[in-house]
Structure 1
Amino acid sequence: MIPESDVFSLSGPIHLKPVDWNNAFNRRSVAASLVQGVSIHERDRQHNRHGFQALAPPWWDFFDFRLNDVLVDEDDASIFCSIYEFKYPAPAGNVPKYVIAFRGTLMEKDTILQDLAMDLRCCFNKLHNSPRFQRALDIVQNTVALAGAANVWLAGHSLGSAMALLAGKSMAKMGCFLETYLFNPPFLSVPIEWIEDNRVKHGIRFTRSFLKAGLTIALNGCRFLKHPELDTFVGLSQWIPYLFVNPNDHFCSDYIGYFEQRKKMNENGAGR
Structure 2
Amino acid sequence: MVWGERAGLDLGGARGSLRSMIVGICTGIPDHPYHSCTSDEREKKIKKRAIHVRLLYGMYDRAQDIPEAEYQEWWTQVHYQLLPMDSILTEDELNLYAPELEEERENQFFGVFLRKEERPSAEAPVWVGAIRGTNLSARALADLQNDAKIVLERLNPSTLIPLLYYVVWRLGELHGYCNVNVTGHSLGAAAGLLVCRRLALEGCVVEGHFFNPPFITLDSLARTCAPCVRQNDAAMPAGNRVLPAVADTDRRNRALAEFMTLDNWSPYLYVNKHDFISREFVSHFKKAIHETVDGNRRWYSSLTELTQRFVGETESYHPFPSAHLVTSYKHRTRPISAHMLWNWIDTHLKYDFKHFSLIP
The TM-score normalised by the length of structure 2 is: 0.58
Task: Name structure 1 gaps, 5 residues minimum.
Answer: 204-210
User: Which of 245, 257, 262 matches 1:236?
Assistant: 262
Structure 2 residue identity aligned to 1:63: V
Other structure's SS at 1:4 match: helix
Identity %: 23
Cα distance, 1:137 vs structure 2: 1.1
In the superposition, relative to structure 1, how do residues 65 and 6 fare at CA in structure 2: closer, same or farther (>3 Å)?
farther
Task: Name structure 2 gaps, 5 residues minimum.
Answer: 1-11, 36-40, 86-99, 231-243, 297-359
Describe the superposition over 1:204-247 as per-residue Cα deviations: whole angstroms up to 9, x where unpaired.
xxxxxxx99xx68xx36x979xxx9x721111111100001122
Alpha-carbon distance between aligned partners in 1 of 2:181 and 2:83, rounded to the nearest angstrom: 14
Cα distance, 1:57 vs structure 2: 1.5
Match of 1:254 in 2: 280
User: Which of 112, 134, 157 matches 1:83?
Assistant: 112
Match of 1:66 in 2: 81
Cα distance, 1:75 vs structure 2: 7.8
Structure-to-structure mapping, 1:97-108, within 5 angstroms: 97-108=126-137
Structure 1 residue identity aligned to 2:75: W
Structure-to-structure mapping, 1:187-266, within 5 angstroms: 187=215, 188=217, 189-191=219-221, 219=249, 231-261=257-287, 263=288, 265=290
User: Which of 34, 47, 69 matches 2:55?
Assistant: 34
Q: Is this contact kept in 2: 1:173–1:235, CA < 8 A?
A: yes
Other structure's SS at 1:252 match: coil
What is the aligned length?
244
Q: Is this contact kept in 1: 2:101–2:163, CA < 8 A?
A: no
Structure 2 residue identity aligned to 1:190: S
Cα distance, 1:192 vs structure 2: 7.8
Match of 2:5 in 1: none
In the superposition, relative to structure 1, how do residues 35 and 265 fare at CA in structure 2: closer, same or farther (>3 Å)?
farther
* Structure with higher RCO (Cα < 8 A, 6+ apart): 2
In the superposition, relative to structure 1, how do residues 24 and 192 fare at CA in structure 2: closer, same or farther (>3 Å)?
farther
Structure 1 residue identity aligned to 2:270: F
Q: Is this contact kept in 2: 1:76–1:111, CA < 8 A?
A: no
In the superposition, relative to structure 1, how do residues 155 and 265 fare at CA in structure 2: closer, same or farther (>3 Å)?
same
Cα distance, 1:186 vs structure 2: 0.9
Describe the superposition over 1:142-193 as per-residue Cα deviations: whole angstroms up to 9, x where unpaired.
1112211010000000000011001101111111111100111111243489
Structure-to-structure mapping, 1:68-217, within 5 angstroms: 68-69=83-84, 74=103, 77-88=106-117, 93-108=122-137, 110-187=138-215, 188=217, 189-191=219-221
Cα distance, 1:256 vs structure 2: 1.3
Structure 2 residue identity aligned to 1:135: L
Instruction: Say which is worse superposed, 251-260 or 158-167, in terms of deviation.
Output: 251-260
The TM-score normalised by the length of structure 1 is: 0.75
Cα distance, 1:91 vs structure 2: 5.3
Match of 1:11 in 2: 22
